[in-house]
Amino acid sequence: MEFFRIRKDIPFMKHALIFNAISFITFALAVFFLITRGLHLSVEFTGGTVMEVAYSQPAELAKVRETVSALGYPEVQVQNFGTARDVMIRLPVQKGVTSAQQSEQVLSALKAADPEVTLRRTEFVGPQVGEELVHGGLMALAMVVVGIVIYLAFRFEWKFGVAAIIANLHDVVIILGFFAFFQWEFSLAVLAGVLAVLGYSVNESVVIFDRIREAFRKYRKMTTHEVIDHAITSTMSRTIITHASTEAMVLAMLFFGGPSLHYFAMALTIGILFGIYSSVFVAAAIAMWLGVKREDLVKPAKKEGDPNDPHAGATV
């Protein structure tokens, strides 16, 4: 299905240097904010108190969050788990206050709003657990990166693997830069969103790379940059349909999913927008600058009488 078909190829690679200069500036700003401001890590990473409470009726998370926030926890995590009557509350560490004191204080405030609320469980998550989560998250990111490079190197050519991973890491760093600049809370859900963006972005890169390979086979007289322009232009309708559909779902989570899904959806939104940009302009341009050519993707046809051809000279 196509919304439209562009008859004349758009010369994207003619402006590749400008597009990549914009990307480099954005990337540099993201790194700057990560270094100077850092990420605002959630309780899962920094440690804190986790409470599970139960209500007799479906809990109103907004009221629960408002009650807990009034105690001095402006960015407390409140979410359902299991059923609509079960609520999990994650409290950050406070100096001079023990985990037991935190849970007693919060439970008293919740009982003042609803006397029927009961405490199911409370536990302290130490910083050691947070260190393990950071290490596990970084290992997961590294494994995804290595897997993508190996896959693209076998599927296409190593130059495409290098180009794709540079473009995709560019997306990841920019997402982290947004979270550092605005000091949005970085939780396990956001980390999952970042890993999802990696897979989503590489999918778009694979589509474009596959179209580049087809164009090399079909149009023998085209230069490399003309082939890339044709590949990008011919996939624009597909890109708009795919990404618009995905973004519609993500925006629904962003606006209607509540605070629990807000930053997860925000990470996906930033990743999708920059993923389109990087897959189309950054990855393709880097592959071109690395010197990808027809011979890298299309095996030359063997000439008649080639001594290396095992069927040469065979008779029927």
Where residue 93 sits, what CATH number does that domain have?
3.30.70.3400
pTM for this one?
0.77
Query: What residues make up the domain containing 61?
Result: 48-125
Both 238 and 111 in one domain: the answer is no
Residue 2 maps to a domain: no
Distance CA 24, CA 153 (A): 25
Both 196 and 278 in one domain: the answer is yes
Both 272 and 147 in one domain: the answer is yes
pLDDT higher than threshold 60 for residue 299: yes
Write down the pLDDT at residue 315: 41
Both 61 and 182 in one domain: the answer is no
pLDDT higher than threshold 90 for residue 198: no
pLDDT higher than threshold 70 for residue 312: no
Both 177 and 203 in one domain: the answer is yes
Residue 189 maps to a domain: yes
Positive or negative torsion for Cα 45, 49, 52, 55: negative
The number of domains in the chain is 2
Distance CA 80, CA 118 (A): 15
Residue 305 maps to a domain: no
Letter string b/e over residues 71-88, b meaning 16 or more CB atoms within 10 A of that residue's CB? bebeebbbbeeeeeebbb
Write down the pLDDT at residue 9: 87
Write down the pLDDT at residue 313: 44
Residue 4 maps to a domain: no
Residue 26 maps to a domain: yes
Distance CA 289, CA 287 (A): 5
Both 86 and 202 in one domain: the answer is no
- Which region among 54-63, 123-132, 139-148 has the lowest average model confidence (pLDDT)? 123-132
pLDDT-based confidence at residue 301 (cuts at 50, 70, 90): low
Most confident of 82-86, 237-241, 261-265: 261-265
Structure-token pair, residue 41: 């890590």
Distance CA 274, CA 284 (A): 14
Average pLDDT over every residue of 107-122: 90
Q: How does pLDDT run across 37-59, given as a tens digit for each residue?
A: 988 888 777 778 889 999 988 88
Both 120 and 140 in one domain: the answer is no
Write down the pLDDT at residue 179: 94
Both 170 and 247 in one domain: the answer is yes
Q: Which of 100, 125, 150 is the last residue of a domain?
A: 125
pLDDT-based confidence at residue 162 (cuts at 50, 70, 90): confident
Between 272 and 7, whose confidence is greater?
272
What SS3 class is residue 191? Answer: helix
The radius of gyration computed from the CA coordinates of the chain, to the nearest angstrom, equals: 26
Average pLDDT over every residue of 12-36: 92
Between 200 and 264, whose confidence is greater?
264
Q: How does pLDDT run across 81-97, given as a tens digit for each residue?
A: 778 889 988 888 877 78
Both 150 and 242 in one domain: the answer is yes
Both 84 and 27 in one domain: the answer is no
The CATH code of the domain that includes 152 is 1.20.1640.10
Between 307 and 273, whose confidence is greater?
273
List, in order, residues 6 or more apart from 3 with CB less than 8 Å away: 237, 240, 241
Residue 211 maps to a domain: yes
Residue 24 maps to a domain: yes
Both 137 and 114 in one domain: the answer is no
pLDDT-based confidence at residue 310 (cuts at 50, 70, 90): very low
pLDDT higher than threshold 60 for residue 306: no
Q: Which of 109, 125, 141 is the last residue of a domain?
A: 125
Both 33 and 63 in one domain: the answer is no
Q: Which of 125, 144, 175 is the last residue of a domain?
A: 125
Residue 52 maps to a domain: yes
